[in-house]
Chain A
């Protein structure tokens, strides 16, 4: 048995698949691929799998990962190819490797956000992100709480690109703190009365405490 970390992208229409539904999706994909993976024991055996990080509905990603335990004696490349042959459009395995880090070391994610047609709001966005305090209601395990989400913004860059506004955001991710970029731009859209619906959001990197990419 071999632990494998399956890195995949989630793009286009696949971004509407919820985290819960991703579990079922991978269960079925593994069955279709014919690869033997390890199942939990007990009364209701199910495919063992753990995702490194949840991804918010509506956000695309280049760097998702899920861990499984491979039973078949086949190469990582074969796992990748056989899964890709049976995954729905928008989900694609880019790499299969041996897990290097524990998911608990993840501390932040990089996001690219494109807000369509609001390039003229660049100054407003700069000012918004420069504030010391951005208060928002966050839903957590213990219910809703008003928090200063600026504490979870670790870095940013704002650029106008044609008529669009592009943001690079480094936001808290992981067990400790997590900030969903949709929440951040939602607060901006409320304060500045601009529509950010249909915005393009892409997670580009998952980073560890020491700044290294999660592997």
Chain B
């Protein structure tokens, strides 16, 4: 029985067979005899989650636009499918060819969230590929990684042959080209990696020695060989506006999490909110022209048949041409009966014009993120939003007919006090009061204010990278404080205390030793950790104990500014000095202006292709 027959034999036994068989519109099938490099793009989560992710669509498109490369998709089989595959000896396979992943030259994982790390091991094992880089001797089956978590890849460094840092569009093609050359020459894996390490943005973890101090902190991370850079700098695409963007997406048969066209409007962020990793690691700010955006939106909808398109960015309203962009796009979307959604709006520059631009299209609800409950704490985190601005925006929204507002907050932020925690409820209450004080509020219906409270996890490459993270007990205590504040029935309060954020915190700032615990936990049955079906904290505690590692050392410990951090040799453009400055300003509740007002000297302006907005 060939593999396809075996797959067909089992998939009728599992939930949603269409997850496992490919064949979707716009999926790319090539003649493998004519291909030099076969690339298995692995998303370490389910089909529905992976297919909703923009990065995979962009890179799939770019790789497949090259004649000699064939990129296919691989997702993590859900528990039921895993069982069936094991029963029938079906290895992990790619969706386009249905060939085993072990047939592929390069196996690439995108690391979008820390809790997907065990799924990398799970997928490698299902593919029959050794988990540790050192156990894979051949050039074939090169295991590479990328995505935001690559900004501190140390916890998974031992499993990967190399990481691509920063924007993937250019470097992934350079990697494949280099691979082809070496494959032709019959090079060894080591020869290839030595050359790959010379490509800007490529980090080969096995080429570095890591030493530790007696107190368990890092001593040094040093290159082992000549020609291997001491620090690896992330890649930034040369011209964001002209960088290839897919004109078609693979259109899934089954419903996925984000089943719509997605248009990336801009990359990077000018704001500098101190808790936000994305706001730093994607710097500098770059945007597409209105013309490019309109063309890409039209092409995408025409080629996919989607009747919904969402604009994707860290802060869409920071586009310098936001108003003409929205008016051009709505002109087209109205005519084509396409619904346009705008997920990330900021509170401070939300004008009536912007609201008009999106009204009539989506009146379901608006979301805003004040993030903290008091002005002092908002200043600490550099979320430059005042209560007055929030009220202004809410007033415009209410007067425009909206009756539901969702507010996002965090607890566990540095310097937080009980007053700050209570302030979350006070802020939500003030929005409710505002509604009832309005004379021209929407009649006949009440207001609903939802306050969603997340738990802060300090991340690398941010001004809070040195901070201690709250323990679960502290988080639960703060939730009690929240509950203790009297509030109107119009406020829905959402919060959730979970050990998942503890583990996330450990991985986010972990060093290379953590890899052992990930391996142990995986071997002990941990995978799909971002799902309640998979997460079992006891298994993790057992794994850390077995390895003699302390979670609190990574997650609950305040670090000094002069400590060597596991990601000090990884340069994302923002300098450690800048982050230190920002951290000290945070302690004094001093804000930093956004990049368009003045340059704070983060260092990201040195990348070609990312001219920063202010005179730096």
List the one stretch of B20-28, B397-405, B465-473, B597-605 in contact with chain A: B20-28
| Contact with A12, one of B10, B17, B23 (Cβ below 8 angstroms) | B23
Task: Mark contacts of B11-22 with chain A using CB atoms, 8 A cut-off: 1 yes-contact digit, 0 otherwise.
Answer: 111000110011
| Residues of B close to A73: CB separation below 8 A | none
| Contact with B21, one of A13, A27, A29, A197 (Cβ below 8 angstroms) | A13
Q: How far is the CB of B503 from chain A (nearest CB, A)?
A: 35
Question: Top 3 nearest A-B pairs by Cβ distance?
Answer: A28-B305, A13-B23, A198-B9
Interface residues of B in 277-330 (CB under 8 A from A): 301-307
Inter-chain contact B18/A29, CB cutoff 8 Å: no
Would you call A41 an interface residue if the criterion is a C-beta within 8 Å of the partner chain's C-beta atoms?
no
Q: How far is the CB of A200 from chain B (nearest CB, A)?
A: 9
Complex Cα–Cα for A14 and B22 (A): 9
Would you call A88 an interface residue if the criterion is a C-beta within 8 Å of the partner chain's C-beta atoms?
yes
| Contact with A16, one of B11, B13, B251, B307 (Cβ below 8 angstroms) | B11
Inter-chain contact B22/A28, CB cutoff 8 Å: no
Complex Cα–Cα for A29 and B18 (A): 18
B residues near A, CB below 8 A?
5-6, 8-13, 17-18, 21-25, 251, 253-255, 301-307, 337
Would you call A31 an interface residue if the criterion is a C-beta within 8 Å of the partner chain's C-beta atoms?
yes
Would you call A124 an interface residue if the criterion is a C-beta within 8 Å of the partner chain's C-beta atoms?
no
Would you call A32 an interface residue if the criterion is a C-beta within 8 Å of the partner chain's C-beta atoms?
yes
Inter-chain contact B305/A27, CB cutoff 8 Å: yes
Task: Mark contacts of A132-159 with chain B using CB atoms, 8 A cut-off: 1 yes-contact digit, 0 otherwise.
Answer: 0000000000000000000000000000
A residues near B, CB below 8 A?
12-14, 16-18, 21, 24-25, 27-32, 34, 45, 57-58, 86-90, 197-198
| Contact with B305, one of A32, A45, A57 (Cβ below 8 angstroms) | A32
| Residues of A close to B251: CB separation below 8 A | 28, 88
**Besides A16-B23, A45-B337, 13 new A-B residue pairs in contact (Cβ under 8 A), listed by A number:** A12-B23, A18-B18, A21-B255, A25-B253, A28-B251, A29-B305, A86-B305, A88-B24, A88-B25, A197-B12, A198-B5, A198-B6, A198-B9
Inter-chain contact B21/A16, CB cutoff 8 Å: yes
Given the known interface contacts A88-B23, A198-B9, the answer about A17 and B303 at a Cβ–Cβ threshold of 8 Å is: no
Inter-chain contact B253/A31, CB cutoff 8 Å: no
Inter-chain contact B17/A58, CB cutoff 8 Å: yes
Q: How far is the CB of B338 from chain A (nearest CB, A)?
A: 9
| Most chain A CB atoms below 10 A, which of B12, B13, B18, B253 | B253
Inter-chain contact B22/A13, CB cutoff 8 Å: yes
Inter-chain contact B23/A14, CB cutoff 8 Å: yes
| Most chain B CB atoms below 10 A, which of A13, A45, A58 | A13
Inter-chain contact A32/B253, CB cutoff 8 Å: no
Q: How far is the CB of A83 from chain B (nearest CB, A)?
A: 11
| Residues of A close to B24: CB separation below 8 A | 88
| Residues of B close to A30: CB separation below 8 A | 305
Closest to B302 in A: A32
Inter-chain contact B23/A32, CB cutoff 8 Å: no
Complex Cα–Cα for A16 and B306 (A): 21
| Residues of B close to A18: CB separation below 8 A | 18, 253-254
Complex Cα–Cα for A89 and B13 (A): 23
Complex Cα–Cα for A34 and B253 (A): 20
| Residues of B close to A14: CB separation below 8 A | 23
Inter-chain contact B303/A32, CB cutoff 8 Å: yes
| Residues of B close to A29: CB separation below 8 A | 305
Complex Cα–Cα for A17 and B22 (A): 11
Given the known interface contacts A13-B23, A28-B251, A89-B23, the answer about A197 and B305 at a Cβ–Cβ threshold of 8 Å is: no
Complex Cα–Cα for A76 and B438 (A): 58
Complex Cα–Cα for A45 and B9 (A): 40
Complex Cα–Cα for A57 and B6 (A): 17
| Residues of B close to A58: CB separation below 8 A | 12, 17
Inter-chain contact B23/A57, CB cutoff 8 Å: no
Closest to A22 in B: B253
Inter-chain contact B304/A32, CB cutoff 8 Å: yes
Complex Cα–Cα for A31 and B13 (A): 33
| Residues of A close to B18: CB separation below 8 A | 16-18, 21
| Residues of B close to A16: CB separation below 8 A | 11, 17-18, 21, 23, 253
| Residues of A close to B304: CB separation below 8 A | 28, 32
Inter-chain contact B17/A197, CB cutoff 8 Å: no
| Residues of A close to B23: CB separation below 8 A | 12-14, 16, 88-90
| Residues of B close to A87: CB separation below 8 A | 25
Closest to A47 in B: B307
| Residues of A close to B253: CB separation below 8 A | 16-18, 21, 24-25, 88
Q: How far is the CB of B261 from chain A (nearest CB, A)?
A: 11
What are 15 pairs between A and B in contact, CB < 8 Å? A13-B23, A14-B23, A16-B17, A17-B18, A21-B18, A21-B254, A24-B253, A25-B253, A27-B305, A28-B304, A28-B305, A32-B302, A34-B302, A57-B17, A58-B12
Complex Cα–Cα for A84 and B33 (A): 28
Closest to A32 in B: B305
Complex Cα–Cα for A18 and B18 (A): 8
Closest to A33 in B: B305
Q: How far is the CB of B1 from chain A (nearest CB, A)?
A: 8
| Residues of A close to B8: CB separation below 8 A | 198
Q: How far is the CB of A164 from chain B (nearest CB, A)?
A: 13
Inter-chain contact B305/A31, CB cutoff 8 Å: yes
Complex Cα–Cα for A25 and B18 (A): 13
